[in-house]
Structure 1
Amino acid sequence: MNSRYWSTDRLAELLADRLGWPPPVDCSLDESGPFTRDELAGGIDRDRFLAAVRRLNTGPGGEPWLDEPRLAQVWDAVTRIGDGLSSGNEDFFKLLLSGVVVDAPPWMQGARTRVVRLVAWDDPDANDWLVATHVPIRRPGYTGVPTVELDFVVLCNGIPFVVGACSGPDRTDGVTGAIDRLRVLSGERRLVPDRSVPGLFRYVQLLVAVDDERAKLGTVTSLPEHFAEWR
């Protein structure tokens, strides 16, 4: 195994073991992963997201009520967030908290609209969790590097909640270098050639930078000095 990935695999396995999630999935280019290089390019695994949203939102009888037109309304709402990293991230955070308003079906009594929740905050285990490592992301339409790789991503209902960068034993830049790589990928720090995938990072709620001894947490707009120790 390339030592660059030693911390990546260990951390992903720890998350899965401690939190009861399924074993991490290796999404290397030469592996068969749960999605292609294109499916996360825009930020969310569409099929996984819509399937989870439909399952989590049930009617009075406990049956899912979201049909294709209403699922399309949900998808339109989450993809219409701001293009900017900061503004888009803020817009999506509000949707995570408040849900998405859609037209109520004719048979449903009461209000003409209904709120669709994107995450089951009151029952974490009801959500669809996936820990993916070595995740390739194609950068369609961007100049610079055509495909980049994320060390690990934690998806909740197809949403990339957490993106992490690891610094393995063969790197000397430690957690500081891992933070720097996260900022390059998000577009907060520009390099030539460009390696950013801002469309994905608009949806990311937490960044994790790890080396063999330390871990730090931040958000997509955190400066390096604002990353906090993960204890």
Structure 2
Amino acid sequence: MSRIITESDVEQAALDIFEELDYKTLYAPDIAPPPEGTKPERKTYSDVVLVERLAKAIDKLNPSIPKEVKEEAIKKVLRTESPKLIVNNQSFHGMLVNGLDVEHRTKDGRIAGDKVWLFDFEKPERNEFLAANQFTVIENNCNRRPDIVIFVNGLPLAVIELKNPADENATVWTAFSQFETYKNEIPSLFNYNGMLVVSDGMEARAGTITSGKEWFMLWRTIDGKEIKSDIRSKSMEVLLKGMFEKGRFLDIIRHFLVFEKEDNALLKKLAGYHQYYAVNKAMEATIKASSTKGDKRCGVVWHS
């Protein structure tokens, strides 16, 4: 008699995939605030950024920036400037992709402008990728525990909510509804969010903090070469390997998330797999055509 699959099994399967992708994995209660955490990395359960990891990454990526300037950059990242989640999210996204503008005094007394970078987008291996499961957040007396949070350099860039495939009442849309609750009750976690993923171990979909159900999309390819039309049994594996390979994940965060206003509402949009690969293919063709040996012919991508 076969064993019934549980939500914990789905969670472990996802963590195994992240280990395949060379992410570090950890059980989030271990880094919880003291006295609960055996290796605490948070002062309180309201802390959603792993500050020591962020500081270490900023030191590594910005060696010429004075210490006090880097400390001020961290404070800016942690500061919440609006009561609106989407406004905070857009502000952070700008810091992430454009760097933080800073000023510091040089040795000869001049005031110099500079950038503090949170990520190295060109060399993904210089960043730290971490998948932490059962990450408890307490905010406004609400206690919630998302299944898996993906941190890059200590910043919570993705949240994954999983449901039990053996429970016919628990679907990806149950997970979607869970996110609606999380955004209302623990919004601080989503100030930094790039994407949300829902899965029941079979079906898996990705969207953003403003995506409705219709915009939580399947990701049908791991490498862009093979498009899987029927991915029901491997949807989670395809999406996680397809979107979270380190270089691809940073590329999506940097180039394939946009903010647009519709009917006076600010929306965050995530490109689909077909748009992602069409644009990158067109860019490769353009670079090749523009080279000294190229034919100088460039194309236009039209996708909806």
Name the TM-score class by shorter chain: 0.7 to 0.9
TM-score with structure 1 setting the length: 0.82
Change in CA separation of 1:35 and 1:176 when aligned onto 2, cut-off 3 Å: same
- Say whether 1:177 aligns with 2:174: yes
User: Structure 1 residue runs of 4+, over 6 Å off?
Assistant: 108-111
Change in CA separation of 1:229 and 1:34 when aligned onto 2, cut-off 3 Å: farther
Q: Which residue of 1 is the match for residue 59 of structure 2?
A: 54
Q: Which residue of 2 is the match for residue 205 of structure 1?
A: 194
Aligned sequence identity (%): 21
**Structure 2 counterpart of 1:5, which letter?**
S
Change in CA separation of 1:72 and 1:28 when aligned onto 2, cut-off 3 Å: closer
Q: Which residue of 2 is the match for residue 119 of structure 1?
A: 119
Distance 2:165 2:43 in 1: 27
Change in CA separation of 1:106 and 1:31 when aligned onto 2, cut-off 3 Å: closer
Q: Which residue of 1 is the match for residue 41 of structure 2?
A: 35
Q: Which residue of 2 is the match for residue 220 of structure 1?
A: 209
> Aligned-pair distance for 1:111?
6.6
Change in CA separation of 1:117 and 1:157 when aligned onto 2, cut-off 3 Å: same
Contact 1:43 1:199 survives alignment (8 Å): yes
Q: How does 1:132-171 map to 2 (within 5 A)?
A: 132-139=132-139, 142-143=140-141, 145=142, 147-171=143-167
C-alpha RMSD of matched pairs (Å): 2.5
Contact 1:207 1:219 survives alignment (8 Å): yes
Richer in helix (by share): 2
CA deviation profile, 1:18-41 (whole Å, cap 9, x unmatched): x2122x2112477746634825x2
Moved more, 75-84 or 201-210: 75-84
Gaps of 5+ in 1: 60-64, 188-195
Larger Rg: 2
Change in CA separation of 1:101 and 1:169 when aligned onto 2, cut-off 3 Å: same
Gaps of 5+ in 2: 31-35, 221-304
- Say whether 1:4 aligns with 2:7: yes
Change in CA separation of 1:97 and 1:37 when aligned onto 2, cut-off 3 Å: same
TM-score with structure 2 setting the length: 0.63
Give the 3-state SS of the residue equivalent to 1:150 in structure 2.
Answer: coil
CA deviation profile, 1:180-230 (whole Å, cap 9, x unmatched): 11121112xxxxxxxx21011111111010112111001111112211112
How many residues are aligned here? Answer: 210
Q: Which residue of 1 is the match for residue 84 of structure 2?
A: 84
